[in-house]
Amino acid sequence: MSGGKDPVELYVAALGQAFELQEAGKFDEAAEHARMAISLAPTKATRGKAYGVLGTIQVDQFNFALADKSFQEAERILRQDGISTDLGEVVYERANILYRLSEGNKEKRKGAEARYNEALKLAKDTGSHDLVCRCFSNLADMELEGVPMGLPDNVFPRELDKNRKQAEDYLQRAREAARKADSMEERGVTLLCLEVRVAAARNSREKARGLLSEAQRMVQRQGRSSGIEALKNLEVMLRLVVTDKS
């Protein structure tokens, strides 16, 4: 980038390039442009945002320890300016990392849940309905962890029924937020996959398969390949655990 240009323009160009390269799967180059944006950032808020972008790139590289450091720095900077959508996004991303790494660790799981609830509050305070949707979706996913699927009600563990009901409540709230954000098309597949799992937890085979077919049609319509493998895994799961009795 040549001298003489407006610093804000240079920052915006560097961050834009980081986004484009990230979308193209060129993560090393994307990270370099994100770091460039950090050095060019004209304000604390823009610097914090650039650190957040770097963190998402590092997540794509599966370098969660480094990503959390970037998000931590983004959070430190953004908190100096008070609440913002960018701060909510960073808190959400840190929750995602904790959740990914929890793997049966109750303390990390509680930490992730607390983080999602903090991000949820920030999202509500700033009117970010899409972030509200994502927080509730992930909280529903957490509630479904360990909940058996394909069991009739008469043998379903009573102690896990509250998790199943809580997941249904979170899912409903996620759908409401997605409608407010006008992001049903973007979030639809994720929400439908959660609905499939809830239906399977209720041992409702026909409903689960109907929802799965709807999700498959949505993926085909959108032309996205990212959700195809997840839907295949979900289809295998249904075949294995859900009985013929609806």
| Domain residue limits at 26 | 1-127
Q: Are residues 245 and 134 in the same domain?
A: yes
How many domains does the chain fold into? 2
Q: Are residues 3 and 119 in the same domain?
A: yes
Task: Read off the pTM.
Answer: 0.87
Residue 231 has φ and ψ, to the nearest 5°, of -70, -35
Of 110, 127, 144, the last residue of a domain is 127
Q: Are residues 122 and 154 in the same domain?
A: no
Of 127, 150, 176, the last residue of a domain is 127
Q: Are residues 76 and 152 in the same domain?
A: no
pLDDT at 43: 95
pLDDT at 3: 55
CA-nearest of 44, 50, 48 to 12 is 50
pLDDT at 240: 59
Residues with pLDDT less than 70, the chain: 1-4, 223-230, 233, 237-246
Whole-angstrom Cα distance, residue 199 to residue 196?
A: 5
Of 127, 154, 176, the last residue of a domain is 127
Q: Are residues 55 and 97 in the same domain?
A: yes
Q: Are residues 216 and 109 in the same domain?
A: no
pLDDT at 224: 61
